[in-house]
Amino acid sequence: MLALVACAFAIMGLDEAMPSAPRSELWIDEVQRGDMIQEIRATGSLVPKHVRWLAAGTEGAVQEVLVQPGARVSADTVIIRLSNPMALADLEKARAALAGADAGIAAKRTELQSQQLDQDAVLSKAESQLKVSSAKTDALRRALAAGVISKLELIQSEVGMAQDRNMVAIEKQRVTAARRNFEAQMLAERARRDELASALSLAEQNVAALQVRAGIDGILQQVSVEPGQQVAVGASLARVARQNELIARLLVPEVLAKDLVLDLPVRVDTRNGVAEGRVDRIDPAVREGRVTVDVDFVRALPASARPDLSVDGSIVLARLRDVVSVGRASSAIPNGASTLFVLSGDSEIAQRTRVVYGRTSSDRIEVKSGLRPGDRVVLSDTAQWSKHQALRVR
């Protein structure tokens, strides 16, 4: 009799020690067997696929902003007009320098051609003198054969002819040297002229850069300067994007990004329908605990799609066949383990059970061991009952 009373009091003590919680305040999920889509959910926004940032090609002051953000522009549309008096002065100076170089080339060509003509005249005179000497020498040879003159006269004529022949050879070398000098000096003059032409082209580009043009057909999204503002070379002035070509830019938590690869299928909820796409780019860097993923769409987006529109994306990693899975609790780590309170059958008592996990999805996780299909599991945060092995669910 005393033993029964002791046992009753022991049971009552355990019942009082066991914590309890209302069912309505707990997240309870049932373990299931079947296919599970392994996916990663992430938020992001639509961004233009082709964006052109307009930078200042030369320094200057913003004189006028001609187009406001939101307007449609073409490639030749002038968005911002800058002013820079020094750039205009440099352009006129470069034009004058190039004109002077052209005139210098013409003068140098005339000078060198005149020198070449003089040298050609000297050569022609030397060749004429050689012809005369040759004819005289031939005549003296015939006269010597006839016994009319002495041999000394013939020798003197032959020496003169040899001198004239040497003079012709020397003058020919001078003509060749003069032509080479002509080409070298003209090449130098043209090189100087080309240098000045490059300086003029740069000055023209600097002046043209005072008219900041869109560069592509699209929508002006942003203007970063105001009239009167001084800007340096390379300063960002505006942004133009092609409105009809958008991609989704999703921010995936770092812990989920390890399974990402290119070309994975993605479903993107645009708030006006779900669009299909594929992973086109994965940022190799992690920023603020997230990895940026760009999604390129396989079909055209709804007409309501706009840049910066918030979207939700589901990146499908794999379809797992015939697996045991349960809702993903905050303590559930892929390929890890934790303890959960498990309700078996119609019992109100949930027993703490060790569960080993496998692969994970956005809202479910694969169960390797510890649970069976049909078990009901408390997935709420149960840290307050960490010292207890059982929980009563009211």
Assess whether 114 and 190 both reside in one domain.
yes
pLDDT tier for residue 2 given thresholds of 50, 70 and 90: very low
In a domain, 215, yes or no: yes
CATH number at residue 93: 1.10.287.620
Both 164 and 185 in one domain: the answer is yes
User: Do residue 261 and residue 313 come from a single domain?
Assistant: yes
Residue 293 sits in the same domain as residue 385: yes
Q: According to the per-residue pLDDT averaged within each range, which of 58-72, 154-168, 346-360 is highest? A: 58-72
* CATH value at residue 389: 2.40.30.170
Residues 186 and 234 grouped into a single domain: no
Is the pLDDT score of 132 beyond 70? Answer: yes
The residue length of the chain stands at 394
Q: Is residue 12 part of a domain?
A: no
- Residue where one domain finishes, among candidates 241, 256, 283: 241
- Same structural domain, 254 and 345: yes
My answer on whether 361 and 386 are in the same domain is yes
Statement to judge: residues 32 and 161 lie in one domain = no
Assigned domain for 158 exists? yes
Q: What is the pLDDT of residue 218?
A: 87
pLDDT above 70 as % of the chain: 96
Residue 65 inside a domain? The answer is yes
- Whether residue 14 lies inside any domain: the answer is no
Of 45, 44, 48, whose CA–CA distance to 220 is shortest? 48
pLDDT at site 7: 44
pLDDT of residue 21: 81
**pTM of the full predicted structure?**
0.55
Q: Looking at the predicted structure, is the pLDDT value of residue 19 above 60? A: yes
116-128 mean pLDDT: 85
Given 241, 258, 287, the domain boundary residue is 241
Q: What is the pLDDT of residues 302-345, one digit of tens each?
A: 777 788 889 999 888 888 888 888 888 877 888 888 888 888 77
Note whether 300 and 382 are same-domain residues.
yes
**Is residue 189 located within the same domain as residue 292?**
no
Note whether 329 and 368 are same-domain residues: yes
Residue 291 pLDDT greater than 80, yes or no: yes
User: Is residue 11 a part of any domain in this protein?
Assistant: no
Q: CA quadruple 95, 101, 104, 109: dihedral positive or negative?
A: negative
Count of domains in the chain? 3
Judge if 291 and 335 occupy the same domain: yes
Range(s) of the domain holding residue 66: 51-84+210-241
